[in-house]
Every structure is written in structure tokens, then in C-alpha cells.
Structure 1
Amino acid sequence: MVQSARSRSVLALYSTADDIQCHRTRLVLAAKGVSYERVIVDPSKPPEDLLDLNPYGSTPTLVDRDLTLYGTSVVCEYLDERYPHPPLMPIDPLSRARLRLASLRIELDWLPEVHTIRAGGRPADGARKRLREHLLASLPLFKAAKFFLNPEMSLADCLVAPVVWRLPWLGVDLGREGKPILDYGERLFHSQGFARSMTAEEKAMRP
């Protein structure tokens, strides 16, 4: 039984072992170099202390002393403001809005296809095709800057990189056309922060 997060004096993150949104949050923490307690939970059987903290029992859930946050975007933006160095969002409102909108599109367009693929069965083949199409349609965004729509790493990269990491595991082949996306991924995958962000299950997704 895990210790109640309310009794912890350190930052704690309730996370599943292989979910993209949880990986996204762990990547933000790793990029910030923040020490925290990682509490891996089974999404089908949320522990009682998580349900006490978050009525939805959802992950990621962040506990910072007396503050409990859930909803991935809420958690990630809080962490960026709570630990301002290095900043993971540009300063100007227009660039910030563009990155937020791009992240929303990914959540609405890409992630449902990932969930369908993971569920297996006949619908998975169509989802692989659609996810590939979504990614290739986004090529200009990968080509626009060193990182996703930005010259520096941002919160958007913390969502995009976990998706790109999982592509071979999901059976999605981008081919030659997708080389800019694969090159983007390799730039991030070799960083110490990305390695620290992963669970054993996520590391096993690639040989």
C-alpha cells in the first residue's frame, strides 16, 4: 500500500507506467531537474489515497504539499510556473497561444488514435493509418524550428516526444517522408532529461 500523499513533504506524482499524458508530465519534471516521488498506479484499480485526492482517480495527479492538481495541461503549466528554470514556454503571448493550440490538436487528433491502436482488433489498422497521416500533415511544424514550433524545448515537446517515441511500438512507420519527425525525436531521445522521464515499461518500447 502506498503512503498517503497528504503525509509526504516532497512533491509526488501519481502516474501510470506507460501512458503518454503521464510521460508528458514526467518529461516536464525531468526537464526542470525537479526531484519528486513517483507513485506508479494501476489505472484499473486506483489506490484509495488517489481517490481521496482526485475524485476522478485519474493520472497524472500531482501533490505539492497541500495542493493537489490533475488534468495534464493544468499540471504541466503549474510545474512550468512553479519551477521557472529552464522556462518551457516562450515569453510572447502569440507564440504561447500557438503552442497551446498545437498541443490541443495533438490531444484531440493524435491521442485517440493511439488509444485505439492500443486497444487492438480491427480498428487498430485504421487508427495506425490515421495517426501516420496526422503526423505527416504536421511536417511543416517539425521543420519550422529545432524543436516543435519553437527554437527551444517547450511544453509542446513534452507531449510530442512521447508520441514519437512510441511509434515503432505502435506499429506506425513514417517512411522516408517522415525523416524530419524521426530526426526531431532523436534529438530529444538522447537527452538526459528524456531518459530520466521514462519508466521501465517505456524504455522497453524500443530495443
Structure 2
Amino acid sequence: MSISTNTKLFTSPNCVKSHIVRFAAEVKGLEYIELDMVEHAQLALSQDVTESPSLSDRNVTTGELDIIIEYIDEQHPQPPLLPANTASRAVYRKQVRSFHKQLFPLLSAAKAGDMDAQANLRDYLQQMDSMVQGYAYFASSKISIMDVTIGPWLWAAKEAGLCLKPFRALSSYADRLFVLPAFQASLGKQVEDVAA
């Protein structure tokens, strides 16, 4: 079952969260239309979209990143991005929200020269390095919401000049993710002319 091409993802260039949404959709092998939020502002407003990334599909419109990913995951269950068991799903959700709140802002602050942010970022990367050791994916043998979230952040960090070489397991993990066909496809596919 594939998502209707009526499904629109409103995104912004160089936006990690937009990349996360595309990666989730590509992992699922879904069909979607990606629209630049600025270029398609009128269409966005007509669908009650006010922020990016946002998903507009059937009667659902949301700009909440975790809701977008879970909506895609629940509507199209294969491959699952969240574990089947309730307790494990709660742990995954908590970890992903922690990444969004703590890890994501650290890169900008560290690049701006904030010494505390640089130290915290190194600590975070060290923890992540230990969590991917011996696994194909993030603490797992199967791709999950963790990979969908971390992969685009690692890509943005690499593009910003962050060197992962001191974190050998994390660096290898990033290299494995970056060559996945779903990741390559998630680097961007925008459709210029779309009718409302």
C-alpha cells in the first residue's frame, strides 16, 4: 500500500526536520509530493499549513515532527519504524524527543563557538558511538525511528564540518546510513508545478 500522491510534504531547504520527514517517507517507499514552503506558500495556506515540515494527507494536516513520522508509520506499517511492544515504543519516543530537544540545538551553538555546547556535543557523540557499536543500525539490527531521526542530523553535522572520525563506530554507522538508497533519495526531490 502506498501513500496517495495527494500526500504533500511542505519542507524548507537545509532543514534537518524536513530531511527527517523525507527519510521516513523514503524508508517506507511511499509516494509523496514535496513542496518548498516558500515557493508554494499559497498552496500551503490553502491547506492550513503554517510551518515546515508539515504533512497534508487526506483530512490530516500537521506540522508536529513526531506526529508526522508516526502517522506515516501507522498508515503504512512496513517496515515498522517503532517497536511492536508498548513499553519499547515509549522508550523510543522519549529518546527521539530527547534528540530533538538536546542534540539538535547543540550543533548550531557549538559551531558558533559556545565552549559548553562543544563539550556537551562531544559527550553526546561519545554516548551515541557506544550505542551503535556492534549494530547495523542505532542499537538495533533493523532500521527504526532512531535512524530516521539521527541520520539527517549526522548528514547536517557533516555538511557543517563536524568530523566524526574520533567516534569510529558512529562514523561507520553514518557512512552505512548515507549510502542507503532511501537516504540518498531523501536528500531532496521537489516538484515544481502542483495543482491544489
Instruction: Please state which band the TM-score falls in when normalised by the shorter chain.
Output: 0.7 to 0.9
| Distance of aligned partners of 1:142 and 1:68 in 2 relative to their CA distance in 1, 3 Å threshold | same
**Match in the other structure for 1:37:** 33
Counterpart contact for 1:54–1:70, Cα < 8 Å: no
Post-superposition CA distance 1:74-122 (Å, at most 9, x none): 00000001111111111122322221121111111111123435xx644
Q: TM-score, normalised by structure 2?
A: 0.83
Post-superposition CA distance 1:149-180 (Å, at most 9, x none): 3221011111101111222322322333x010
| Distance of aligned partners of 1:121 and 1:187 in 2 relative to their CA distance in 1, 3 Å threshold | closer
What is the aligned counterpart of 1:145 among 116, 125, 135? Answer: 135
Structure 2 unaligned regions, length at least 5: 190-196
Q: 1:129 & 1:20 partners in 2: Cα distance?
A: 22
| Distance of aligned partners of 1:87 and 1:17 in 2 relative to their CA distance in 1, 3 Å threshold | same
| Distance of aligned partners of 1:58 and 1:114 in 2 relative to their CA distance in 1, 3 Å threshold | farther
Kindly provide the amino acid, as one letter, of the partner of residue 114 in structure 1.
L
| Distance of aligned partners of 1:104 and 1:144 in 2 relative to their CA distance in 1, 3 Å threshold | farther
Counterpart contact for 1:109–1:134, Cα < 8 Å: no
Alignment RMSD (CA, Å): 2.4
The 5 Å alignment of 1:1-207 reads: 10-42=6-38, 47-54=41-48, 57-116=50-109, 121-123=112-114, 127-143=117-133, 145-176=135-166, 178-199=167-188
| Distance of aligned partners of 1:60 and 1:136 in 2 relative to their CA distance in 1, 3 Å threshold | same
Kindly provide the amino acid, as one letter, of the partner of residue 63 in structure 1.
S
Give the number of equivalent residue pairs.
Answer: 186
